[in-house]
Homo-oligomer: A and B are copies of this chain.
Amino acid sequence: MRTTIYDVAKEAKVSIATVSKVINNKGHISEKTKRKVQEVIVALNYQPNMMASALMGKRTKTIGLLIPDIANPFFSELARSIEDRGHEFGYNLVMCSTDYIQEKENKYITLLKRKSVDGFIIASGFENLDKIEELVKEDIPVAIVARDSPMFYVNTVALDDFMGGYLAASHLIELGHKNIGVIARDVWSNRERLRGFKQALEENKLEFTPDFEFIKEINHIEAGKYMTRKYLDAPHPPTAIFACNDLLAAGVIQGGKEVGMSVPEDLSVIGFDNTILATIIEPPLTTISQPIQNMGKEVMDIMISMITGEVKEKRRLTLLPSLVERKSTSKLTV
């Protein structure tokens, strides 16, 4: 069987209480005893069972990460940065892809609570906050990342999505585009981007595209293609499209190509996220950059400080997007 604290205690000729204290560096232990116990621990290759200490109210050093889809580059890059920061402090992540499905998210939360995770980092696009509120009430650390939701009192690391949409629209407007299509999903972040987008339009006395509708399809690329075809088939096709993420933008470019439009000559395309895709897509994608690395680090830091109890008051950290100009947008040629 596995080595337990009893084995160590017996071998070191002390009580298990002493061993426990040595491990956790608590209470008063003489240097001599401490050394002896540590030697035995090494000799027996003893690894404390975290289940047992978790049962005694200690931390599991495990955090639940809820994201819409780990196969989406934005989220896998975000997950990676969160994982890295957590790893520095000994935390592991349980990964849950929720596919924007509320039910799945709730099930995962319930399950992970039973597994006594120390906290939840949530990046999925839920609308219903009941489950989150439940966590907060039960004093389980929750932090939200890469989405915002001002009606709620939770630690949040978000992007200024409104600003992102505003930047995207402003860029296209500056290039002379007046008829701009938008592709978005009906989630909070996208709605904010849309709001920013409309704001810029309004300031320039431009009309919002009448053909807009939220996408429903889960597969972003397909959704991008579909909406693009729809836009280009309309009576007054747009000369530019703002896609609310890079994956959608990839779909737009593909959809455009399929009907013989070249980007950016016939159609300017701007994305959102600045994932690795943006550099790979041809033409390289002009996009709104989210500081992914930073978001991951910040949200993990907040999570850890909630767990350790250092920080009690809630805060909302809003990071700013920036425009990254590449080759998928160009001046409107009349």
Contact = CB atoms under 8 A, between A and B. Distances in A.
Interface of A: 2, 47-52, 54-55, 60-62, 65, 69-71, 73, 76-77, 79-80, 83-84, 90, 92-97, 108, 110-116, 138, 221, 250, 254, 276-277, 279-283
A71 B60 CA distance: 25
A243 to B, nearest CB: 13
Contacts of A51: 51, 54-55, 60, 115-116
Given A70-B76, A221-B276, 9 more contacts: A52-B55, A55-B55, A70-B83, A71-B73, A92-B95, A93-B94, A93-B95, A250-B280, A280-B280
A80 B55 contact: no
21 contacts: A2-B138, A47-B113, A49-B114, A49-B116, A51-B60, A61-B115, A65-B95, A69-B80, A70-B95, A71-B73, A71-B77, A71-B79, A71-B80, A92-B94, A92-B95, A92-B96, A93-B94, A93-B95, A250-B280, A281-B281, A281-B282
Copies of this chain present in the complex amount to: 2
Given A115-B50, A281-B282, A80 B97 contact: yes
A97 to B, nearest CB: 6
Contacts of A73: 71, 73, 76
A47 B110 contact: yes
B50 A114 contact: yes
